[in-house]
Amino acid sequence: MKAIILTAGYGRRMRPLSNQTHKTLLNVAGRTIIERIIDGLVDNGITDIAIVTGYRKDQLTAFLTSNFPDVRFTFVHNARYDETNNIYSLALAFEELEVDDDVVLIESDLVYEPSVIRRLLDSPRENVALVDRFQRGMDGTVVTLQGDVISNVIPPHLQGMDFDFSDKFKTLNIYKFSKEFCNTVFKQLLTYYAKVIDDNCYYELILGILIYMQRETIHAALIEGEEWAEVDDPNDLRVAEFKFNREERRQILESTFGAYWNHDVTDFCFIRNMYFPDGSMISQLRSDLEGLLHNYGSKQDVLKEKLGYHLLVDPNRLHVLNGASECFPILRARFEGKSGLIPSPTFGEYERLFVDTHTYGDDVGIDPEQIEIRADSRDVVVFVNPNNPTGSVVPTGWIYDFAARHPEKTIVVDESFIDFTDHPSIIGRLEEEPLENVIVLKSLSKCLGVPGIRLGYAYTCSEATNAFVRDRLPIWNLNSLAEHFLEVILKHRSSLDESFRLTIRDREAFSEMLRRTDCVDEVHPSGANFLLLTLAPDIDAEALVDHLLSERDTFVKDVSSKFAGERHLLRLAVRLPHENTRLAEAFQDYATRTRVQNRIEGGAGNAPSESLMGRSNEHE
């Protein structure tokens, strides 16, 4: 078995990283792309390797000959690399090489585990393409299958606007071809097409022709969990880094504060309503997407009117926000020189609102009398209701009465999670009995399940505050998709109400499952769509978070640093029932493994329980 690797391309999509460096010499998790490709071959016994060079050939050949002295390299140079495509590079290889054995063909924009090559070599078929089920984030040539036979090859230019990827498979651009196939029909058609018809297309076109004409059968070997990534551009490098750098996955995710669609993780860190929007809303938004992309959104007056219809409130008291975070710089300016009282711990933005910040405790549960005492000399009092990360709730009526008793103070009420409690929003009371000193802030990402389109609002009956906020919002602060969502949601009130009910149900079931694991010492009461839990004394939060991300592709949030003392605490978003169950089982598995390891090392850990579902609740 020999290998042919196509590395001639300039790597235009990888610019600017490829301006001075051959694309395959870029690093993923501490090793170059070409090292990973070669190591995967060598680990599977393939050391006869032909490299088709082009761009920066001297840089690449020097690296390979220096770092792989035991590999038998043959170099074929494509001098026209900047004007041809891979069909020409492969045609050159077939013309200049003696193909005296079966061939593994690999393109150089790949990172993979050695087990990927083993999957290919284990196939009993002569001519085989490695494929994977199509997933979000993939691009390039796809195929359809009949059994394990490729029935159609579909290049990118044939994947139109309405193309259905649901039943398609992505080619890895790794193939195994027989010596006979390479020396006969494939070589003949490939070289003729490259010389006579088009030297700037892809060799997959030739495979598609042969399949269409039924001149050859190309089988598929399906990837079953082996890690691989295609690296066409710098964003792909970031995705590959996460996939192959398991030790630093947590740092990678925490550095982005989002964009998790690029990573195959189950996210229990960021919080959203898992039951909304429903399928019919998604379908409508998808069908309207083209028109939304081609049009501007409306100005603030129109946005306020549309949101007012949804909230059933006076739109003149509203400001529609590009996420609630848009309002924090405005509030910071509004409260300049004023002292503030905020819960501790809470959402970090509130800590930055005031130069002079004081706190009242939430550990877990808030004492209203403490607020009364500590608010005495403060200008602004903040309620996050329910509070994040504890889930603690202060009765809405008490907050309203507090604001009414202290008209000289500004009261900020964050109600981002209020829909998951049995307490009403304070806005209903303010609509009937206005108070000038109350500002209500809400992120709609949590309750509407749409963090990706950035929706939030501020509400106040104070004309002075309204004017202050209005003057500081840009004319277009919301995109068309977010605005259209406000239109569509009016038809789905019952679905939204049902989503809150289902989330509350799931929260209670999730809480009970977690209580029954040996990993958890206490699950604290919560009025939000997340849970705060204290881990058992012998469970380290940071080690558990890293383990779940590395071994289970599951991301949870360690909030231990937000609390005093030595406790280890996690905040978990409430996701769908099967995901919640899977996480609770992972907790139990981790506790069992930890305590077994402790006994092996001479520790005195408690005996592990036999079953998550059968364990009695020791912590109640």
Count of domains in the chain? 3
Alpha-carbon span 469 to 318, nearest angstrom: 10
Within a domain: residue 58? yes
Q: Which of 239, 241, 238, 282 is nearest to 264 (CA)?
A: 239
Within a domain: residue 15? yes
Beta carbons of 446 and 332 less than 8 angstroms apart? no
CATH of the domain at 558: 3.90.1150.10
The 10s digit of each residue's pLDDT in 211-253 is 888 888 999 999 998 999 999 999 999 989 989 998 888 888 8
Alpha-carbon span 11 to 192, nearest angstrom: 26
Q: Which stretches of the chain score pLDDT less than 70?
A: 603-620
pLDDT at position 619 is 34
Amino acid at 59: Q
Q: Final residue of a domain: which of 218, 236, 254?
A: 236
Q: Final residue of a domain: which of 187, 216, 236?
A: 236
- Please check whether residues 415 and 515 belong to one and the same domain: no
pLDDT at position 601 is 76
CATH of the domain at 314: 3.40.640.10
pLDDT at position 614 is 41
- Please check whether residues 578 and 450 belong to one and the same domain: no
- Please check whether residues 531 and 404 belong to one and the same domain: no
Q: Which of 166, 172, 165, 164 is nearest to 132 (CA)?
A: 172
- Please check whether residues 462 and 549 belong to one and the same domain: no
pLDDT at position 268 is 96
For residue 547 the two structure tokens come to: 């383990």
- Please check whether residues 552 and 589 belong to one and the same domain: yes
Beta carbons of 455 and 319 less than 8 angstroms apart? no
For residue 258 the two structure tokens come to: 């989002």
Beta carbons of 534 and 521 less than 8 angstroms apart? yes
Alpha-carbon span 96 to 81, nearest angstrom: 16
Within a domain: residue 451? yes
Within a domain: residue 286? no
pLDDT at position 616 is 38
Within a domain: residue 609? no
- Please check whether residues 474 and 564 belong to one and the same domain: no
pLDDT at position 608 is 43
Within a domain: residue 488? no
Q: Final residue of a domain: which of 216, 236, 256?
A: 236
pLDDT at position 110 is 93
Alpha-carbon span 402 to 516, nearest angstrom: 39
pLDDT at position 527 is 97
**DSSP 3-state of 441:** strand
Residue numbers of the domain that contains 572: 496-600
- Please check whether residues 525 and 457 belong to one and the same domain: no
- Please check whether residues 57 and 175 belong to one and the same domain: yes
For residue 253 the two structure tokens come to: 């995710």
Q: Which of 220, 222, 224, 188 is nearest to 206 (CA)?
A: 188
CATH of the domain at 114: 3.90.550.10
Per DSSP, the residues of 334-389 read HTTT-EEEEEES--HHHHTS-SEEEEEE-SSS--HHHHHHHTTT-SEEEEESS-TT
Alpha-carbon span 546 to 245, nearest angstrom: 12
Alpha-carbon span 206 to 191, nearest angstrom: 10
pLDDT at position 618 is 36
- Please check whether residues 507 and 474 belong to one and the same domain: no
Within a domain: residue 263? no
pLDDT at position 605 is 43
- Please check whether residues 504 and 433 belong to one and the same domain: no
- Please check whether residues 26 and 165 belong to one and the same domain: yes
Within a domain: residue 404? yes
Unique residue bearing structure tokens 């002079």? 356
Alpha-carbon span 591 to 177, nearest angstrom: 48
pLDDT at position 33 is 96
Alpha-carbon span 322 to 347, nearest angstrom: 18
**DSSP 3-state of 37:** helix
pLDDT at position 566 is 87
pLDDT at position 620 is 32
- Please check whether residues 503 and 472 belong to one and the same domain: no
